[in-house]
């Protein structure tokens, strides 16, 4: 059964999300701070982590960074703050979605379903190879000339989408919709930021991602 970790220092929020997870058919565990969450991820497999930013002992951003060292589990951030900087910083850390408080529990469940479904779709595809560039979609890893590339989950999602639509010019708005899912209304500069990081991590294959002036990007080899 799908298992969700709910991390928030507000007990009432944990209880509400836990209840909706149960209604949706998910098992759920709770953690009250970032340190507790890291230990739980270290000892238990989770399919998704719901992670608040403002918490005692260890904030959500720091906890996300440590969780990424342990497991490539999807992370949905919760925050009462709406500043663009917070969202961009979260996406650079590799979070899969960002939900602003107060939020609708039904909407959160829909976002969880999108993240889980994306992972299932990815697992059904093959390994893509372009010379020394290898994209293992099922394993969610990327190798460049035999060396594992250090990429965030969002960078991998972006690369997979571009590579599986090779030769097709994709607008920034389409990439926002497809990669961030469920009506994400973010700044299109978010795409540019992730493309910049992705190109850096692709090394000798950075030119596979071609800028389409005035539109977006496409993957070419």
pLDDT digits (tens, 9 = 90+) for 129-188: 898 999 988 778 899 998 999 999 889 999 999 998 888 999 998 888 888 764 555 577
Select from 121, 142, 172 the last residue of a domain. Answer: 121
Contact residues for 69 (Cβ-Cβ < 8 A; gap 6+): none
129 bridge partner residues: 134
What's the pTM?
0.57
Contact residues for 131 (Cβ-Cβ < 8 A; gap 6+): 205, 221
Residues 185-196 have a mean pLDDT of 82
Domain total for the chain? 2
- Same structural domain, 83 and 114: yes
- Same structural domain, 18 and 113: yes
**CATH number, domain with residue 55:** 3.40.50.2300
- Same structural domain, 104 and 185: no
pLDDT for res 212? 94
Least reliable range by pLDDT among 8-22, 43-57, 76-90, 154-168: 76-90
Under the banding of pLDDT at 50, 70 and 90, the label for residue 216 is: very high
Select from 103, 121, 139 the last residue of a domain. Answer: 121
- Same structural domain, 137 and 101: no
- Same structural domain, 106 and 161: no
- Same structural domain, 132 and 28: no
Residue 41 has pLDDT above 70, yes or no: yes
Burial per residue of 47-82, b for 16 or more beta-carbon CB atoms within 10 angstroms, e otherwise: bbbbbbbebeebbbbbbbeebbeeebbbbbbbbeee
Under the banding of pLDDT at 50, 70 and 90, the label for residue 37 is: very high
Select from 89, 121, 153 the last residue of a domain. Answer: 121
- Same structural domain, 178 and 79: no
- Same structural domain, 46 and 115: yes
pLDDT for res 124? 47
- Helices 84-93 and 189-202 cross at an angle (nearest 10°) of 30
**CATH number, domain with residue 168:** 1.10.10.10
Compute the C-alpha angle 86/110/219, nearest 5°. 65
Domain residues for the domain of 183 are: 125-219
- Same structural domain, 109 and 146: no
């Amino acid at each position: 059964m799908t298992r969700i970790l709910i991390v928030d220092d507000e007990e009432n929020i944990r209880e509400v999300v836990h209840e909706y997870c149960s209604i949706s058919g998910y098992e759920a565990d709770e953690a009250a701070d970032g340190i507790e969450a890291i230990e739980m991820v270290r000892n238990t497999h989770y399919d998704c982590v719901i992670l608040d930013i403002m918490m005692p002992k260890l904030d959500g951003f720091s906890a996300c960074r440590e969780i990424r060292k342990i497991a490539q589990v999807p992370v949905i951030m919760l925050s009462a703050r709406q500043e663009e900087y917070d969202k961009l910083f979260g996406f650079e850390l590799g979070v899969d979605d960002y939900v602003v408080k107060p939020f609708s529990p039904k909407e959160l469940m829909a976002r969880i379903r999108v993240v889980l479904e994306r992972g299932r779709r990815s697992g059904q595809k093959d390994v893509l190879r372009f010379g020394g560039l290898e994209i293992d979609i099922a394993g969610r890893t990327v190798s460049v000339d035999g060396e594992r590339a250090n990429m965030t989950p969002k960078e991998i999602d972006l690369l997979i989408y571009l590579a599986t639509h090779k030769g097709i010019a994709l607008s920034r708005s389409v990439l926002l919709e497809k990669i961030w899912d469920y009506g994400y209304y973010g700044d299109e500069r978010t795409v540019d930021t992730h493309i910049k990081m992705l190109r850096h991590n692709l090394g000798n294959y950075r030119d596979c991602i071609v800028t389409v002036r005035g539109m977006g990007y496409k993957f070419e080899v």
